[in-house]
Amino acid sequence: MSAFLDQIPARLRPTIRAFTTDMWDGYLNAIEEYIQAHEDVTAYLVVDRFHVAENYRDDFDSLRKTEMKRLKKELHEETYEQECKGMLWTLRKNHEDLNDDERKRLRQLFRHTPLLHQAYTLRTELTVIFNQAKTVDEAEHRLNQWIQKAERLDVACFRPFIKTLTRYWSPIVSYFEDRVNSGFVEGLNNKIKTIKRRCYGIGKTSTLFQRLWLDLAGYKSFMPNGPFALSTT
């Protein structure tokens, strides 16, 4: 990472607004050292919100697995089949995206596991904070309230996330400065992987860039005003 950052041309350093990354300490430390070493770099460090979401969703998923195993053992087989089985994707969907039937099934499930209901509510509240908070101050206030609520309810599955949130507090809440994320880079990386797979491997970097250009912008060359526009006559 440090070697990559050192390749950034001096003329571009003042134009960098933010660095977004996951919570790997190697990346975070390298970026912080780079910012401190260059006075012309005024960018701030952001932990990508989707990596944060993956973190607390994984914690919820761990509880889901535990509770579903418990219910399968404790409930009558017919009750489990009708009211609990097959809820994986319903539980993983954002609450606002659920239809009426899915919400009804959730209510049936939560009657058997109030703990999972509490965790589901807390997970949803976290997502709402990241979707709605307009400023860093508002986000910090709401996240602190969320931590207090999770600790008061003693929903143990979120203890690892609370520890992570506390440890990386500053770069996590920095997301609310301008709501920047790594979505474009993640998408571009997936595009590159798809191109390589489609071509059964690419041996030259120049060829990879050519194929990437064709996939991302090459089609514009064949539009009516492009240099390779196809004749319709």
Mean predicted confidence (pLDDT) in 122-140: 97
Whole-number percent of the chain with pLDDT over 90: 76
Tokens 């609370």 belong to residue: 162
The residue type at 4: F
End-to-end CA distance of the chain: 53
Mean predicted confidence (pLDDT) in 115-125: 98
**Backbone dihedral region of 137: left (phi > 0), alpha (psi from -120 to 50 degrees) or beta?**
alpha
Q: Tell me which of 227 and 133 has the higher pLDDT.
A: 133
When pLDDT is cut at 50, 70 and 90, the band that residue 223 belongs to is low
Boundaries of every domain in the chain: 2-47, 50-178, 183-222
φ and ψ at residue 47, rounded to 5 degrees? -85, 125
Mean predicted confidence (pLDDT) in 176-190: 86
**Cα gap 83→110, rounded to integer Å:** 9
Mean predicted confidence (pLDDT) in 154-180: 97
pLDDT of 209 strictly over 80: yes
When pLDDT is cut at 50, 70 and 90, the band that residue 183 belongs to is confident
- Judge if pTM exceeds 0.85: no
Structure tokens at 125: 């509240």
pLDDT of residue 229: 55
Mean predicted confidence (pLDDT) in 211-219: 81
Q: What is the pLDDT of residues 41-63, one digit of tens each?
A: 999 999 999 999 999 999 999 99
φ and ψ at residue 135, rounded to 5 degrees? -135, 165
pLDDT of residue 182: 83
pLDDT of 175 strictly over 90: yes
**Backbone dihedral region of 83: left (phi > 0), alpha (psi from -120 to 50 degrees) or beta?**
alpha
Which of 47-61, 64-78, 177-191, 210-224 is least confident?
210-224
pLDDT of 204 strictly over 60: yes
Mean predicted confidence (pLDDT) in 4-24: 94
Question: Which distant-in-sequence residues (6+ apart) come within 8 Å of 1 by Cβ?
Answer: 26, 27, 30, 31
Three-state SS for 180-203 is CCCHHHHHHHHHHHHHHHHCCCCC
pLDDT of residue 104: 96
